[in-house]
């Protein structure tokens, strides 16, 4: 719920700067390693935006894959979990390089 409230705060901040009437859609990038369940985010977004400038807005969620850089084999690999081993060489020394983000990438407003 607090993540959805944070998204609403970003929308309200943008409204103060840009003076739009309402939000038609919100595009949200959600990393596979961010610990965010998309359906839960949709439910919470609908709940916290009801009666606001973003009430009824369509929430578009773009899933961003998890990626990491393996220090063992030097490869960039897909990560399914934050502290997983390298799927290529089995090394536990994998630094996450992507997939932890939660960011509003676009607002469609009028």
Chain centroid, CA 67 distance in Å: 15
Splitting the chain (110 residues) into consecutive groups of 10 residues, what average pLDDT does each group show? 97 96 98 96 98 98 97 96 94 96 97
Residue 104 has what pLDDT?
97
CATH number of this structure's domain 2-109, picked from the four choices 3.60.9.10, 3.30.2320.80, 1.10.10.10, 1.10.4080.10: 3.30.2320.80
Handedness of CA 79, 82, 84, 89 (dihedral sign): positive
Domain range list for the chain = 2-109
Give me the residue label for tokens 């944070």. 6
Cβ neighbors of 2 (< 8 A, separation 6 or more) are: none
Compute how many other C-beta atoms are within 10 angstroms of the C-beta atom of residue 62.
13
Instruction: Specify whether the CB–CB gap between 14 and 107 falls below 8 A.
Output: yes
Instruction: Supply the pLDDT for residue 54.
Output: 98
How much is the pLDDT for 36? 96
């Amino acid at each position: 719920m607090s993540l959805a409230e944070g998204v609403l705060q970003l929308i309200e901040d943008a409204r103060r700067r840009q003076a739009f009437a309402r939000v038609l859609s919100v595009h949200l990038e959600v990393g596979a390693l961010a610990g965010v369940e998309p359906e839960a985010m949709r439910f919470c977004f609908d709940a916290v935006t009801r009666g606001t400038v973003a009430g009824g807005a369509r929430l578009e969620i773009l899933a961003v894959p998890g990626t990491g850089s393996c220090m063992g084999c030097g490869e960039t690999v897909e990560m399914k979990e934050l502290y997983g081993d390298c799927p290529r060489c089995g090394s536990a020394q994998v630094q996450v390089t992507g997939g932890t983000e939660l960011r509003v990438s676009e607002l469609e407003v009028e």
